[in-house]
Amino acid sequence: MNLSTLRKLIFEKNILSFLRLSGQTQSLYRCAFATAAGSSGVLNLLSSGPRAAPEIAQGMKLGSDKLHALEAWLECGVKAGELALSDGRYRLKGKLSRLLAQPRNGISASLFEEVTRYHYDAILQAPRKLRDNDSYTLDDQDGELIARSSRILEPFVEEAVDWAFAGRRPRSVLEVGCGAGHYLRYMKQIAPQLEVSAIDYQASVVDAARRNLSGWGVNDVLVEHADVFSLDDSQRYELITLHNNIYYFAADRRDALLRKVRSLLAPSGRLLLTSSCQGGSPAVAALHLWWSLSDVPGGLPDKRQLQQQLLDSGFTDVQLKQLLPGESYYGFLAS
Ligand SMILES: C[S@@+](CC[C@H](N)C(=O)[O-])C[C@H]1O[C@@H](n2cnc3c(N)ncnc32)[C@H](O)[C@@H]1O
């Protein structure tokens, strides 16, 4: 490069400002590569030792016609510092990829993938989506990934369950939107005599919950595939739980949901609801944004508004508990 080119770059193109961004761009490349390598199984494959590109293609079930493009992708990993290439074999190099590859970091890896896949996308796409009237749908989410990352909340929801059981232990519980069924097992562990029923809206989730329960040796929990609005009140429960799913209901349906839940409660029955609420960390803000951009409008609840909605729907003694210190994650217990 001659002096004239250098002068143009510095004084006309302000190249120095771009060079100042190099840390951020490198970090974007690292995050994108490590996320894709994690979800495609490449981190797992390389954690057992160096591999040549054809072996990686085989592990990813790609035909030989894809080898050229696969090598271009792996080269990005090398240039980002996440992989090293020697003697034609790739190995894990970067701190990020090595951390995500460790099985004991599985929940953190899922959270990281949720951030790069959904939070980042929502922040990046929001202006365009708003302009083009384009909404996310539930199909845009990988349910299994969300189930894995949500496991970070288990200790906090368990604490909320303990809170609801303290003093007044219910005899029957209905869990609405039970997901993988973890909290059904927890309730049976702390109260083996408890009658536990559960529903979920998605058939595949119900199948997974039934499989999980049977694998855990919990055989007396009834899990049904149903929409909460379709339940009749022939059966009443002393406690109804709704964990991490109020935002699956559009804001204008939440009143109807709370009234429906109330109609399924036995006299003096209670509702335990846990949810991320507006106003927390960047992760909670991005979750609120994703749901606000979805075809289930409303986003995360505002905690005071939800408290008022519970009162307006006929609940009394609505108690609010911050479950995660420093984060906008709350439990609501209402009679
Ligand atoms: C984020 S998951 C939470 C699962 C579980 N409660 C947990 O905390 O791990 C939300 C669940 O609510 C279920 N759900 C959404 N709308 C529902 C409805 N109308 N009736 C029953 N389940 C519903 C979804 O199918 C999904 O499995």
pLDDT greater than 80 at residue 103: yes
Angle between helices 282-292 and 120-132 (to 10 degrees): 30
Which residue ranges does the chain devote to CATH 3.40.50.150? 151-334
Who wins on pLDDT, 72 or 147? 72
CB contact set of 206 (below 8 Å; sequence gap of 6+): 199, 200, 223, 224, 225
Using the atom order of ligand 1, give the atom closest to the CA of residue 150. 9
Residue-wise pLDDT for 244-264, tens only, equals 999 999 999 999 999 999 999
Cα torsion angle, 32, 34, 39, 40, sign: positive
Token representation of residue 187: 């309730």
Determine the pLDDT at residue 168: 87
Q: Are 205 and 184 in contact (CB under 8 A)?
A: no
C-alpha of residue 282 to centroid of ligand 1, in Å: 23
Which whole number is the average pLDDT over 208-216?
95
Q: Is the CB of 149 under 6 A from ligand 1?
A: no
- Going by the DSSP 8-state scheme, the letter that residue 150 receives in this structure is G
Q: Is the CB of 243 under 6 A from ligand 1?
A: yes
Domain 151-334 -> CATH class: alpha beta
Token representation of residue 248: 């699956």
Cα torsion angle, 168, 172, 174, 180, sign: positive
Nearest CA to 277 out of 331, 233, 228, 210 is that of: 331
The CATH number assigned to the domain with range 3-101 reads: 1.10.10.10
Q: Which of 144, 245, 258, 290 to mutate to test the pocket of ligand 1 (most atoms within 8 A of CB)?
A: 245
pLDDT greater than 80 at residue 167: no
Which residues are paired to 221 by β-bridges? 196
Residue-wise pLDDT for 175-193, tens only, equals 999 999 999 999 999 999 9
Determine the pLDDT at residue 88: 97
Percent of the chain's residues with pLDDT above 90: 90
pLDDT classification of 13: cutoffs 50, 70, 90: confident
Nearest CA to 221 out of 246, 193, 201 is that of: 193
CB contact set of 61 (below 8 Å; sequence gap of 6+): none
Q: Is the CB of 176 under 6 A from ligand 1?
A: yes
pLDDT greater than 90 at residue 231: yes
Using the atom order of ligand 1, give the atom closest to the CA of residue 242. 6
Who wins on pLDDT, 297 or 177? 177
Using the atom order of ligand 1, give the atom closest to the CA of residue 199. 21
Which residue ranges does the chain devote to CATH 1.10.10.10? 3-101
Residue-wise pLDDT for 107-144, tens only, equals 999 999 999 999 999 999 999 999 999 999 988 988 88
Q: Are 213 and 223 in contact (CB under 8 A)?
A: yes
C-alpha of residue 228 to centroid of ligand 1, in Å: 10
